Structure 1
Amino acid sequence: MAIKQLTPTLSVTAQLTPADIAQAAAMGFRAILCNRPDGEGADQPTAGEMGAAARAAGLDFAYVPAVAGALTDADAIAMRAALDSLPGPVLAYCRSGARAETLAEMAGALVRQDAAHYDVVIVGGGSAGIATAASIVKRRRGIRLAIIEPSEAHYYQPGWTMVGAGVFDSGFTRREEARLIPRGVTWIKASASAFLPDEKQVVLHDDRRVSYGVLIVCPGVKLDWNAIPGLSEALGNDGVTSNYRYDLAPYTNRLVKQFKGGRALFTQPPMPIKCAGAPQKAMYLSCHRWEKAGMLGNCDVQFHTAGAVLFGVPAYVPALMDYVRRYGINLNFGSKLVEIDGPSKTAIFEQADGDSVRRVAERFDMIHVVPPQMAPDFIRHSPLAAASGFVEVDEATLRHPRYPDIYALGDACSASNAKTMAAARKQAPVVAVNALAALDGQPPVAIYDGYGSCPLTVEAGKIVLAEFGYGGKLMPSFPNWLIDGTRPSRLSWLLKDTILPPVYWNGMLKGREWMVKPCLIGAQS
């Protein structure tokens, strides 16, 4: 199937068959448009057959037949109407593809590629981007909304801790991006490279431009694996692993399962990082497996954190310290991983020693590494960036302080909340209603309270459910008699193991705002 891309949202190709539809869906197309009249060729499938195949694959379908060599203004008007109604990207076809391209040009679809305009543009098709898009389209039908996202795969990243622990299969955390883009939303399968806020445009990696009425920025964080010399080369070999990568979480599981004793190191880089409890989660679940296997006494487990405390919210530290003592974990505060040699199984740390810093070499049999994290380069070097490099926002409204038509959420925004999926879930409806207000020329109408959640998996079957907002204020979702978040709970494990994954796939990404309805300004207690 030879495809010619005309714009970010429209491509053309030669005659398709029903068998081609699944491939088109897998490539990210959201709709099929037929420009070839039925009966033009003896062996061509009918529009009815093609429409049925498209709908079976979850794609929209339109039939705009036009006679080759005799295209009319009426054909162009029908083509324009179809393109306006179909979710993008659209794949149009005829006998050779030429007629579809000509019709697109007649319909005005082939204007300069940098002039594509949408009411709302979302940069980032991860958890935050799709959840926000879903909330917006549920509130306003017919809105022209586009998501800029280059990846074909979408991941439920909170599940990678469970993959590393042998609880989830890695495939359970992965789905096709095309299947998650909300209906009616155009997917621009590209990377953003720059922002021109004064012109209200986003520049794509190939210099195309997309203009907007309101911009929402949520591309996530950059995991800087190369910031630690030797790490990129060592990952996946010689006992070096990380649950922060889809392909490595299964390796964590194998290492822990096969471990027969020795030195196991777990690292945490300087903040901010996404899911600040994840470095510890990997350690506690590993220790619990070794404890059950009767070999914990043969393990020298060390936690090296660049921070000065075990967890940033003091209320949860006593419960965590109980497990540190139970598992015999050696805590090393102010200890930052700066180099690793996989073949020699040696890790180099910089450790604070009074006013000086010393380098310490530690041998290991296995090491779980969390990489340094920062805002993506195109964010850090943009006019949207705060001093931290993340998108500058007002912590309550999540609106940019200098560009009132720009909002940000998720891991890439500068708000001081914990960078967790739970935070993005709470932020998405707030940004959705505020973005619609901005589109209507109104000020923000909802506020975000800094809520984030970190289910700390202290053993298989028990979790310390940390829930807190700005300033470390405890913000439990459940009454204390049901779940005391400061103590390990089996019910909290059930929440993470069984309840949260379907809430993510079937709730958050579908715009269902269970327990996260936006708090309107003036309505907060």
Structure 2
Amino acid sequence: MKSKYSVLIIGGGTAGIMTAAQLLKKDSSLSIGIIDPADTHYYQPAWTLVGAGTYNFDDTAKPMKELIPNGAEWIQDYATGFDADKNLVKTKNSGEISYDYLIVAPGLVMDLKQIEGLESALDKGVVCSNYTDSKHTWEVLKNFKGGNAIFTQPTTPIKCGGAPQKIAYLAADYFRKNNIDSEVVFATPGSVLLGVDEINETLKKVVDRYGIHFKRFYAPVKIDADKKIVTFKYVGEDKSELKANNKIKEKISGETIEMPFDMLHLAPPQAAPKFIRESNLVNKEGWLDVNINSLQHNSYPNIFGLGDVAALPTAKTGAAIRKQVPVVIENLMFLMNNKPASNTDYQGYSSCPLVTGYGKMVLAEFDYENNFTPDPKLKQMLIFDSSKEHWRLWMLKKYGLPYLYWNKMMKGEDV
């Protein structure tokens, strides 16, 4: 292992691998190190389908050693801190590693302590999450005999913001197909299903079709796994819509709502990794402080950040990374040639494949302004309005996107 690299990358996830692979295609002589302790790399977008019993979990995993690009060095270790003034990254076992340029892309972590009772309840009994154990979600779904099936998400940013409702739609479809008497609830701290108008209109029809109880401004604060009660705090300004629903046996006291459950799926609260949060590289919310268009750090010009850890006001998805990486690559090349990082092309593109049932999907593509920005290439699949449910979009989700991920994105090819 070298002690200094031209480009040092923290994170062997989607962002780190893509960046390394594309950099080496531009300049194979670069000395590139990738710090990541994990043995296995996961294609996490498929975990929604695993949780609904329609994708094999083992197919979402590949050994990390198979994905490290030829020409890059894998430093299988934990990054623990920075001395950005001296161009150093501190590690658990490998000492200090220096760099000319640093790419910070370690993703995010689950922060279970933010919801009381979550840590002891999660992935046991009928409390589940596709974010942490999608196989357990499928077991809970199969064993559900009826009653309240609650789906919720936290107040923090989360990876793939649509995932908590995707599994709600798949579960509702599964219950209907299997004649299971259920009250499906989707409770969110937000005000809408999705902030893109065209997609939101479609999702409202999906909610109506399944008879899902949509609860706005519901922030989960406590889980009592023994009593099977989830407690929410109402975070909306207008309290007039806060009315107990007898069908789901809500109990309301002031801004506090208690809801019994027979199944509970949630996205856990999420945060930047601890070594990032405790560094001087973050904004006041604890996310990596980068320019939202160039992805260059706002204080250290030889540092870039992308992916889930970056403080970008858009959805944290692999599709977003696909558009971020080329901007970072070009800006790095500018710096290496003594030019300013002048590429400001990243306008917040992200994409959320919203599965709305078995064999149905809509595709939300949008920018920082929540403008609907569908890819023209979809017309090649005979999809002329991706804001509407389509079986071809389901095929894209289940077969097309995993293929593109493993065979194109992870190999540094343009997609």
Q: Write the letter of the residue equivalent to 2:329.
A: A
Matches within 5 A, 1:206-285: 206=93, 208-245=95-132, 248-285=133-170
Q: Write the letter of the residue equivalent to 1:497.
A: K
Contact 1:238 1:345 (C-alpha < 8 Å) held by counterparts: no
> 1:320 & 1:409 partners in 2: Cα distance?
29
Matches within 5 A, 1:325-474: 325-352=208-235, 354=237, 358-446=255-343, 447-474=345-372
> 1:352 & 1:126 partners in 2: Cα distance?
34
Contact 1:483 1:489 (C-alpha < 8 Å) held by counterparts: no
Q: Write the letter of the residue equivalent to 1:500.
A: L
Q: Write the letter of the residue equivalent to 1:294.
A: N
Please give the secondary structure, in 2, of the residue aligned with 1:450.
Answer: coil
Q: Write the letter of the residue equivalent to 1:303.
A: F
**What's the CA shift string for 1:111-165, capped at 9, x where partnerless?**
xxxxx11000001111110011000011101210000111111110101001001
> 2:237 & 2:405 partners in 1: Cα distance?
45
2:26 is the alignment partner of 1:139: yes
> 2:356 & 2:71 partners in 1: Cα distance?
42
Give how far 1:439 is off.
2.5
Counterpart residue number, 1:83:
none
Counterpart residue number, 1:154:
41
Give how far 1:386 is off.
1.5
Give how far 1:355 is off.
7.5
> 1:360 & 1:286 partners in 2: Cα distance?
23
Contact 1:375 1:389 (C-alpha < 8 Å) held by counterparts: yes
Question: Aligned to 1:510, which of 408, 411, 414?
Answer: 411
**What's the CA shift string for 1:304-332, capped at 9, x where partnerless?**
11112221222211110111111111111
> 2:4 & 2:92 partners in 1: Cα distance?
17
Counterpart residue number, 1:175:
62
Q: Which moved more, 1:166-175 or 1:480-489?
A: 480-489
Q: Which moved more, 1:334-343 or 1:437-446?
A: 437-446
- Change in 2 beyond 3 A, CA 1:355/1:509: same
Contact 1:234 1:342 (C-alpha < 8 Å) held by counterparts: yes
Counterpart residue number, 2:386:
485
Q: Scaled by the length of structure 1, what TM-score is found?
A: 0.73
Q: Write the letter of the residue equivalent to 1:475.
A: T
Contact 2:77 2:94 (C-alpha < 8 Å) held by counterparts: no
**What's the CA shift string for 1:449-505, capped at 9, x where partnerless?**
211100000011111100011111221113666231211111111111111001101
Percent identical pairs in the alignment equals 41
> 2:387 & 2:236 partners in 1: Cα distance?
32
> 2:277 & 2:122 partners in 1: Cα distance?
27
| Total equivalences in the alignment | 397
Give how far 1:396 is off.
1.3
Q: Write the letter of the residue equivalent to 2:373.
A: M
2:13 is the alignment partner of 1:126: yes
Query: Which has more radius of gyration?
Result: 1
- Change in 2 beyond 3 A, CA 1:200/1:152: same
> 2:238 & 2:367 partners in 1: Cα distance?
33
Give how far 1:256 is off.
1.4
> 1:383 & 1:237 partners in 2: Cα distance?
37
- Change in 2 beyond 3 A, CA 1:237/1:271: closer
Q: Write the letter of the residue equivalent to 1:467.
A: E
Question: Aligned to 1:186, which of 63, 66, 73?
Answer: 73
Give how far 1:425 is off.
1.4
Q: Write the letter of the residue equivalent to 1:332.
A: K
Give how far 1:271 is off.
4.0
Q: Write the letter of the residue equivalent to 1:513.
A: D
Please give the secondary structure, in 2, of the residue aligned with 1:367.
Answer: strand
> 2:293 & 2:309 partners in 1: Cα distance?
16
**Residue ranges of structure 1 left out of the alignment (5+ in a row):** 1-8, 10-108, 110-115, 515-525
Question: Aligned to 2:183, which of 273, 276, 300?
Answer: 300
> 2:412 & 2:97 partners in 1: Cα distance?
25
- Change in 2 beyond 3 A, CA 1:355/1:495: closer
Q: Which moved more, 1:394-403 or 1:156-165?
A: 394-403
Please give the secondary structure, in 1, of the residue aligned with 2:120.
Answer: helix
Give how far 1:346 is off.
1.4
Contact 1:483 1:491 (C-alpha < 8 Å) held by counterparts: no
Please give the secondary structure, in 2, of the residue aligned with 1:319.
Answer: helix
Contact 1:214 1:439 (C-alpha < 8 Å) held by counterparts: no
Contact 1:266 1:303 (C-alpha < 8 Å) held by counterparts: yes
**What's the CA shift string for 1:56-99, capped at 9, x where partnerless?**
xxxxxxxxxxxxxxxxxxxxxxxxxxxxxxxxxxxxxxxxxxxx
What value does the CA root-mean-square deviation take over the aligned residues? 1.6
Q: Scaled by the length of structure 2, what TM-score is found?
A: 0.92
**What's the CA shift string for 1:221-258, capped at 9, x where partnerless?**
1211122121121122220000001xx21111122122
Runs of 4+ off more than 4 Å = 353-357
Counterpart residue number, 2:242:
none
Question: Aligned to 2:176, which of 291, 300, 314?
Answer: 291
> 1:482 & 1:421 partners in 2: Cα distance?
21
Contact 1:121 1:146 (C-alpha < 8 Å) held by counterparts: yes
Give how far 1:387 is off.
2.1
Q: Write the letter of the residue equivalent to 1:505.
A: W
Give how far 1:207 is off.
7.2
| Structure with higher RCO (Cα < 8 A, 6+ apart) | 2
Please give the secondary structure, in 2, of the residue aligned with 1:467.
Answer: strand
> 1:379 & 1:483 partners in 2: Cα distance?
42
Q: Write the letter of the residue equivalent to 1:305.
A: T
**Residue ranges of structure 2 left out of the alignment (5+ in a row):** 240-253
Contact 1:284 1:457 (C-alpha < 8 Å) held by counterparts: yes
